[in-house]
Structures are given as C-alpha cells and as structure tokens.
Amino acid sequence: MSKLLHQRPIHNPLSDPYPLSPRSSSTSQRPISIFSPTTLLVLLSLLVVLGVFLPWVGMPEFIFSSTRPSLSKWRDYTLAQAASFVAKNGTVIVCAVSQPYLPFLNNWLISIARQKHQDKVLVIAEDYATLYKVNERWPGHAVLVPPAPDAQTAHKFGSQGFFNFTSRRPRHLLHILELGYNVMYNDVDMVWLADPFPYLQGHHDVYFTDDMAAVKPLNHSHELPPPGKKGRTYICSCMIFLRPSSGAKLVMKKWIEELQAQPWSKAKKANDQPAFNWALNKTAGEVDLYLLPQAAFPTGGLYFKNQTWVQETKGMNVIIHNNYITGFEKKIKRFHDFGLWLVDDHALESPLGRLR
C-alpha cells in the first residue's frame, strides 16, 4: 500500500486553479486552460485564416485600427475622385465651407434641392470637422484639399483668415477645369429661387455677375463692364460658371497670380475679389466673357435695399446673394426678414438633414 501511494503523483492545489474533486476525477470533465496547447493552436489557426481571407472579404478596417474607416477613407479622398462622383452631364457645383458656416451650407442646399441639382454639388471642406460631418450625412459629397487652413472661425470679411480661406478658391476651380468638367462656384450665403442653368447661354468661357448696386436696364450688355474709379471692374467672385476651356483656365491662373501679387497685410486688407477683377481685366482680349443678367442674379446691395426694383423684377430673380452686409448673425437675420432662411422649417429637404 505504501508503495502504491509513493508512485501516485502528488497533486499541488497551488499549481492548478481547478483542483480535482472526488466527484470529478475524469480527465474529460477537466476545464481547459486558455493557455493550453490546444487553445493556442486554435487561436493561431484563426489568425492565419483571418490574415488570408480578410483582404478578400473586405472586413472593416476599424477591427485592426483605432481610426474609424469612414474617417480614414474621407481623409484620403481626392478632388479628382470627388468630382468624378458628383459630376452630372459634365458639370460640378462647388462651394467652400468651414464648420461655422454649416447652417448656411444647409440653407443653400435646400434651395438647390428644390431645383433638382443637389446631386452635382461638391463641398470643398476647409476643415476636417466639415469633411467628416458632410460625408457622414451625405457620403462622397465633401472633399478636403490639403493642407487644411488653421482651425476655422466665422471669419470677418477683410480679415487675414477670410483672405486665407478665399484665396484657395481659384486653385480648386482650376483643378476641376483641368479634370475636364464645367464648374459653377457659389458662396453659401446664397439662395436659389429658380434654376440658373437656362441662363448659361452659349459657350462662353467665364460667366459672372456684377456686384454693383446701380440698376441696369433689363436688356443690358453682357460684355465685361468698363472699369470703375479704381481702374478695374467690380465683378462678384462669389457666383462664377466656367467651362473647361483654355480661356477659363487662363483666367484662373491669372487670378492665382494676382492673389500672390496682392497678399493680405494689416495696411492693405486684401480679399480675393479685386484679384479676380484684375484677372478678368487683364485677360479680356483673350477670353470669351459673359455678364449674367442683373435681374436674375442681383447683388445683395440691390435685392435687399431696393424694394421698388424687387417688385419690378418679381419672378425674374434666380440666385440671391446675401452680401453688402458683414457678420454671421446679421446675415441670418436678413435672410429671416426676407423669408430666405429655410433651415428652421425645411431642414429635411436638405441632403444633410437637420444638423445639430
């Protein structure tokens, strides 16, 4: 008996988290440790299978990354990819937006959706918050062209931040032209009352609007207006339509040159519009330019301040620009006063829905 006891393995309960009890002496009933050879072999086999098959089945990237796939995808989204995705009939509608102006973007989109042109809209996001927010709600319709400007606030007209923001515009437009698309640019403090595309008559290189508030005759010339007191015209850089012609590309390149020649400084608080006008003036002999009708595309200095003219042109107005006023809240109040702030009651008409 003592010999048998001597040959029996001595069980040390401290070395086994699951000590055998008198009722469970069967090996098959003994729980398997997570570190057992069998378990480790199963885990290793699973990792091999995942490594072989995941690339083929497209398993979401977030399983192996702390970055959500939607974020990493849009961070790498290029302007060429975005333009190809949104273009309809060879045309892209472009705006440039930073996060503080998302309510204006939504307001503008509602008005475009009512004209059935929202699908061709491309939002050039000027910060990553805008890029992710738009693509979360409306996948593929926002792109960020690096480098992103510094964190955005609602930049005041004439500030250096405003200049930095708007001076990127001609490069974006030139890139889209070089991809072969027609491109319409709008500021998002605009509202469409009707479809503007029937007014883009002929095959001119560049279409634009006059920013002067002086009333023109209904049958006014579509030529580039004569220069004003500063030796240049006063064309608005906030509503432009371009065809992918050599003439339109020349104007964009000249605009970029003029912006570089007239940088912002505290003494001279430049913005993008004078440079656009110099570009038009200096290329006018080489480019086919077209001034859009004032009744259809009035400046804010006319539409919001001359109600007699508004009554006389009722039914003719197509795109209203809320300029000739500065300040985020002031623009919203003016839109409210004229029944053009659509977001409060009609947000669900926007592709973005109700933003919070």
Tens of pLDDT, residues 123-157: 999 999 999 999 999 999 999 998 876 655 545 54
pLDDT bucket at 81, cuts 50 / 70 / 90:
very high
Q: What's the alpha-carbon Rg for the chain, to the nearest Å? A: 31
pLDDT at position 356, please?
Answer: 79
Say if CB 97 and CB 103 are below 8 A apart: no
Q: What percent of the chain has pLDDT over 90?
A: 67
* Average pLDDT for 66-80: 78
pLDDT at position 147, please?
Answer: 84
Tens of pLDDT, residues 228-237: 988 999 999 9
Tens of pLDDT, residues 335-346: 999 999 999 999
Q: Tokens standing for 335?
A: 């839109």
The count of other CB atoms within 10 Å of the CB of residue 299 is 23
Indicate if the pLDDT at residue 168 is higher than 90: no
Least confident interval from 15-29, 212-226, 239-253:
15-29
* Average pLDDT, rounded, for the chain: 83
Length of the chain, please?
356
The gap from C-alpha 143 to its chain's centroid, in whole angstroms, comes to 5
Tens of pLDDT, residues 259-293: 988 764 455 545 679 999 999 999 999 999 999 99
Indicate if the pLDDT at residue 22 is higher than 70: no
* Average pLDDT for 10-27: 40
* Average pLDDT for 174-196: 98
Distance CA 252, CA 332 (A): 31
User: Which amino acid appears at position 31 of this protein?
Assistant: P
Say if CB 92 and CB 183 are below 8 A apart: yes
For 106, counting Cβ atoms within 10 Å of its Cβ (0-12 exposed, 13-18 middle, 19+ buried), the class is buried
Say if CB 192 and CB 115 are below 8 A apart: yes
pLDDT bucket at 223, cuts 50 / 70 / 90:
very high
